[in-house]
Amino acid sequence: MKYISSLVFLVSVTFSSLVFSQVGIKYDINASNPLGVVAAMDKFYASSTGQAGSGSVTLYQYVANGDNPATHALLVSFSDFEDMQSTFARNALSQDWATFLVELNSAAEQVSSVMFRSTGLNGGDPSKVTSANTANYWTYISVSNPSTYASAWQALIAQNADVDFTSGLTEILAHGKSDITHVITQQANDLPTLLGTPNSDLNGWGDFVSSVSGTRTVITRDVLTRLMNWTNAN
């Protein structure tokens, strides 16, 4: 079993919120006891160590994710790398954190992790996405020319400001052996809204595909439901 020993939970999207906040880590887990995961997080978040943190943790459940054995994803988001580093240091010296890891490992096994950073290129109207349990579509891609891709993406979202979902382009900073460089996140109130209109119907989609066809490869696509979020006011 691969134990969860490196989680930096407190904390600070939502990979959304993924859409993502500024920086963070997404942990894929295989949860044998999802309620146990929630209970462990609730307990840690109520502790003195948990209350000392800032930011957010969001729990997602996978609806479809190919051959990935993960059942859930935990998205830990920070405002910046300084916030992330201070969380590492605080948790490393905390008995609350040590107890949390024991309880979390009894309920779930870590499958993988990735570190991300937002590009700041987000589209759609956030006021239209009001559900606490959003539907999410994450497309992981490998991009050979990030600046060209970012420019094309920015042009695409500028032509589709009135859609009923939000979207974001995020850079993947660390990902193990994967070729993934970026993830496109789309978030809506429900699955019909999220998937009812194909991307090919977006204004300017043909131009977008033509401009990035030689610079990007789609690696995988996942559909998830947002379940819970823990946020401090610090």
pLDDT given for residue 197 in this prediction: 84
Supply φ then ψ for residue 205, to 5 degrees: -65, -40
Cα gap 226→75, rounded to integer Å: 10
Mean pLDDT (the chain, rounded): 89
Q: Of 182, 42, 56, 40, whose CA–CA distance to 115 is shortest?
A: 182
**How many distinct structural domains can be found in the chain?**
2
Q: Which of 65, 93, 116 is the last residue of a domain?
A: 116
Residue 157: inside a domain, yes or no? yes
Q: 41-50: per-residue pLDDT in tens?
A: 999 999 999 9
Residues 97 and 154 in one domain: no
Where do we find the tokens 């991307």? Answer: 199
| Residues 194 and 109 both lie in one domain | no
pTM score: 0.89
Same domain? For 103 and 193 the reply is: no
pLDDT above 60: residue 14: no
Assess whether pLDDT exceeds 50 at residue 195: yes
pLDDT tens per residue, range 48-96: 999 888 778 999 999 999 999 999 999 999 999 999 999 889 999 999 9
Domain that holds residue 215: 119-225
Q: How far apart are CA 193 and CA 164, in angstroms?
A: 7
Q: Looking at the structure, tell me whether residues 96 and 36 fall in a common domain.
A: yes
CATH of the domain at 88: 3.30.70.100
